[in-house]
Amino acid sequence: MARRFKHGALGAAVLAAVSAAACTGPAPDSASGSASGKSAINVYLYQEPAGIFSPLAPSNGPDNQVMSFLDQGLLAVDPNYKLQPQLAQSYDVSSDAKTFTFHLRQGLKWSDGQPFTAQDVLFSYRLLADPKSTSATAGSFAAVEGVSDFVSGKAKTISGFSAPDDHTFVIKAAKPDIGLLAQISVAYVLPKHVLGDVPVAQVAKNPYFRAPNVTLGPYKFVDYKTNQYVHVTANPSYPSPAKIKDVYLKPMTSDVATAQLGNGGMDIASFSPADLKTVQGFKNIAVQEKAGAGFVRIALNQSKSYFKDVRVRQAFLYAIDRKALVAKVLGGKATVQNSDFFAGNTPAGINEYAYDPQKAKSLLQAAGWDSNRTVELQWVPGQRDRDATTTIVQSQLGAVGVKVKLKQAQAAEIPTTYAKKSYDMTLYGGGNYAVDSWNVNVITACDQQFPKGGNIVWFCDKKLDEQMAKANGTADDGQRKALYDQAVLEENAQADLMWLYDPTGLWAVNKRIKGFQAAGSQDSPFWNPAGWSL
Amino acid sequence: MGAYIIRRLLINVLVFFLITVVIFWLVHKAPGDPIAMMVPPDQLNAGSAAFIAAKRHELGLDQPLVVQYWHWLTGALHGDFGYSLVNGRSVTSLLGERFGPTIELMGTGLLLSLVIAFPLGIVAALRRNTRVDYAATVVSLGSVSIPAFFIALIAIYVFTVKFPILPSSGISDPSAPSLVDSLQHLILPAVILGFANSGPYMRYVRSSMITELGADYVRTAEAKGATRRRVVVRHTLRNSLIPVLTYIAANLPQQLAGAVVIEQVFAWPGMGQLAVSSVGRHDYSVIIGFALIIAVLVLISSLLADVLYTLVDPRVRLN
């Protein structure tokens, strides 16, 4: 309790100090040991990296951000959540939505001068799909033809991956599966000439991943001083070498990073809506906003009988004034979420569940909600917007006759409550599933119920599953969009999750830097650092 | 005294062993699953359970707690305190590389707190109930009652935003490291840590001096014609050091706790930062390593306090 208080007080106090700074105007330059004036910049990391810069390791925000300077995939997701060719010059999708052919860029070299070929891709994809490598994403590759036989030992190699020549790589799906493209083609490619001889079971532990000094991206790894910075430097082998020579990625508290923006000690940093006025007060800083990369939601445990009734779930949505919540708690820097699907991918006419406590009451009454029942809402405290949201949800649900008890939990405690199916409600953040609507399937499908997948609410709607599968198996873009639109309407009506809001990505950039494109979240990878200049 | 120290050390070894049992048990029994939390809920898929099971097996977390403790203990006796769950690095190297920065900050902070506390405490005692005494009291009250992190934030505002003359975070500038640069980085955190710890020391010095100044031997010395200066410097100062030194030695663990907060604010790459992030991630081995360092520090500082006592006060005999 004391520690929590300290953190809260710390945030408030820094804010006060920094706000005062904004009122008096920023300092023109810095004596703070910054990289200003030189061909080097400082970039904020919202967390200390784990220090394993590996596509085999579980996804970790700050490590991914470092890797976005060093590594490349066949395709990459741009700041508008569209797939863009990266190592591939172009790609084709077969008319049966089963075969993806990537035509690789020619003349690419690893940072040690070795040529990049399709063999590197083949090696990387085999490794990523093989659970023996302790690849955290191996499950995503299960839909590739031949992976299940390979994993069970029936086949010696994976038939769904092939490299017919040095500049072509082919992925075959076990069944029509457009969504597979977004799930696996963005994986970072590893150097076969460095790791190819290491036994599969040992690769993940290879020292290479602590200091990945042979890479394909615009920057090369220099060193990682724990708790201080990750230093990367321009890779001369990159086709259009980066214009900024050195980049230091520094983990620190967001309050200190915000203060450093003003004095030039920090050049690029994400920040929270609460600091917007302060940051706008810095004359040397430009602010960029981007549609959020993931939305905050409340999971309602539908393995419990009282959340099985769709009317209860709808009533919970009607009971919360989410528009006011976004305006008050996030200063308007978020959008209200009304579906699992990305707002840009949803059709007109979905139910917005506008604030209507009377409707909520009558739905609860119709569903026979027991007003003496108390449900527990668990969340990991520490983020201002989420902490405030829980108390608003508690009070507004209370107003329609639902008693809510708040329970603060540690991040490590939450998975246990999934395993035991013991929780009532969990507030948490997840992705926006924007790149491909198929990504929603992992949190809604009957066959993805925890622990088989990410459906931690044990929601099941066979109709939705059929609509999703049909859409995902359709190669034609227009037809697929029409099918997904039906799925969105069904999912929106079923209210599988209590959608809250999608916080806008806010980034502060020193005006001396050109070409930076903000991402939707503080933990999103950086886009095209080679295009940044001073 | 040699026999006493040896006996105390042997008892400390036993106590340390019991501490390892308790810490190991408590840390592992804390609610939560550090391996399952590695995969975010909406990234779970058919392969996740296998990945989590493989990871648990690789780290030995699928074995009974007693077996895990035995492995840890046999490793620890050989200097191997296990590996971080998060990044696989050895606890010895993780804590080792942060030990230096923490000692640098703690040591400088301690030195500065003594530099502030001794003159102020002595002057306050000699000029009791005068303006000087009241001013010193205000300073020490401020040091005790204003949280260090708050002073740190004000200092960041004043010295890095308003008048940008000092760096606000880190231990050095990676693009241009130098001794001067390192010292500049040390100034703010060390001065604030020193100030925050100086209050209690000053109060101790003051009250201890006042007690000694009222002692019979002072009157005797003055009656024999010794000057006030000689009495203070030769007699009362030395005697008043006894409780102060004990307090400082026994207070070393608190010094470390204070440094943890300052390290957070100034992004100082010390053990405190590592401890805080490890607790959040349930990184068992690192938490245990950190807790054991604190335990050793407590055991050693209490022994040190007893030994110092005998050095400054020959009347005290340890048995």
- Is A493 buried (19+), middle (13-18) or exposed (0-12) by CB count in 10 A? middle
Contacts of A31 in chain B (CB under 8 A): 164-167
Query: Any chain B CB within 8 A of the CB of A142?
Result: yes
User: For a pLDDT cut of 90, what percent of chain A falls above it?
Assistant: 75
Contact yes or no for A18 and B147 at CB 8 A: no
Beta bridge partners of A533: A514
When pLDDT is averaged across residues B151-162 and rounded to a whole number, the result is 85
In terms of pLDDT, which residue wins out, A450 or A199? A199
Residue at token pair 């009734």:
A309
Q: What is the dihedral of CA A324, A326, A329, A330, to 10 degrees?
A: -150
Identify which of B32, B86, B265 has the shortest CB distance to residue A416: B32
> How near does any CA of chain B get to the CA of A228, in Å?
6
| Distances B299 to A31, A192, B239, B243, B249 between C-alpha atoms, Å | 42, 52, 25, 18, 11
- Sheet containing strand A161-165, strands side by side: A88-93, A99-104, A168-172, A161-165
Query: Any chain B CB within 8 A of the CB of A8?
Result: no
Contact yes or no for A227 and B98 at CB 8 A: yes
- Which of residues 431 through 450 in chain A touch B, CB cutoff 8 A? 431, 442-443, 448, 450
* Backbone torsions φ then ψ of A348, nearest 5 degrees: -70, 155
Question: For the segment B169-203, what is each residue's pLDDT rounded down to a tens digit?
Answer: 888 887 777 888 889 999 999 999 999 889 888 99
| Confidence class for position B319, pLDDT limits 50, 70, 90 | low
Which DSSP state fits A425?
E
Query: Any chain B CB within 8 A of the CB of A310?
Result: no
Contacts of A431 in chain B (CB under 8 A): 42-43
- pLDDT above 70 (res A375): yes
Half-sphere exposure of A298 toward its Cβ, with a 13 Å CA cutoff?
28
> How near does any CA of chain A get to the CA of B255, in Å?
17
CA-to-CA distance for A158 and A156, rounded, in angstroms? 7
Domain boundaries, chain B: 91-312
When pLDDT is averaged across residues A107-113 and rounded to a whole number, the result is 94
When pLDDT is averaged across residues A45-56 and rounded to a whole number, the result is 90
Question: What is the structure's pLDDT at A38?
Answer: 56
- pLDDT above 50 (res A24): no
Average pLDDT of chain B to the nearest whole number: 85
Q: Which residues contact A120 (CB under 8 A, 6 or more apart)?
A: A189, A190, A191, A192, A193
Query: Cβ distance A428 to A390 under 8 Å?
Result: no
Identify which of B46, B160, B176 has the shortest CB distance to residue A452: B46
| Confidence class for position A486, pLDDT limits 50, 70, 90 | very high
Question: For the segment B18-55, what is each residue's pLDDT rounded down to a tens digit?
Answer: 999 999 999 888 877 888 877 777 777 777 888 888 88
Closest CA to A266 of B201, B169, B286: B169
Q: Which of B28, B38, B39, B44 to mutate to test the interface with A (most CBs of A within 10 A)?
A: B44
Question: For the segment A338-372, what is each residue's pLDDT rounded down to a tens digit?
Answer: 999 999 999 998 999 999 999 999 999 999 999 99
Query: Any chain B CB within 8 A of the CB of A211?
Result: no
Q: Which residues contact B169 (CB under 8 A, 6 or more apart)?
A: A32, A250, A252, A256, A260, A265, B266, B267, B268
Closest CA to A253 of B80, B262, B242: B262
The answer to which of A276-280, A302-306, B230-234 has the lowest mean pLDDT is B230-234
Query: Any chain B CB within 8 A of the CB of A228?
Result: yes
- pLDDT above 50 (res B9): yes
Phi-psi region of A25 (alpha: psi -120 to 50; beta: other; left: phi over 0): left
Question: What is the structure's pLDDT at B231?
Answer: 85
Query: Any chain B CB within 8 A of the CB of A262?
Result: yes
CA-to-CA distance for A232 and A111, rounded, in angstroms? 12
Identify which of A14, A52, A58 has the shortest CB distance to residue B39: A58
Contact yes or no for A6 and B265 at CB 8 A: no
What CATH number does domain B91-312 carry, 1.10.268.10, 3.40.30.10, 2.60.40.650, 1.10.3720.10? 1.10.3720.10
> How near does any CA of chain A get to the CA of B32, in Å?
4
**Closest residue of chain A to B149, computed from CA coordinates:** A10
Contact yes or no for A31 and B165 at CB 8 A: yes
- pLDDT above 70 (res A421): yes
Opening angle at CA B252, ends B249 and B256, nearest 5 = 170
Contact yes or no for A31 and B164 at CB 8 A: yes
Beta bridge partners of A429: A296
Query: Cβ distance A487 to A437 under 8 Å?
Result: yes
**Closest residue of chain B to A444, computed from CA coordinates:** B42
- Is A107 buried (19+), middle (13-18) or exposed (0-12) by CB count in 10 A? exposed
**Closest residue of chain A to B54, computed from CA coordinates:** A134
> How near does any CA of chain B get to the CA of A170, in Å?
23
Beta bridge partners of A268: A43, A509
Contacts of B51 in chain A (CB under 8 A): 58, 131, 134-136, 138-139
Strands (E), A94-228: 99-104, 161-165, 168-172, 219-225
| Distances B288 to B84, B259, B283 between C-alpha atoms, Å | 11, 19, 9
Question: What is the structure's pLDDT at A242?
Answer: 93
| Confidence class for position B317, pLDDT limits 50, 70, 90 | low
Question: What is the structure's pLDDT at B6?
Answer: 86
- pLDDT above 80 (res A2): no
CA-to-CA distance for A112 and A19, rounded, in angstroms? 47
Contact yes or no for B267 and A14 at CB 8 A: no
Contact yes or no for B156 and A259 at CB 8 A: yes
**Closest residue of chain B to A249, computed from CA coordinates:** B174
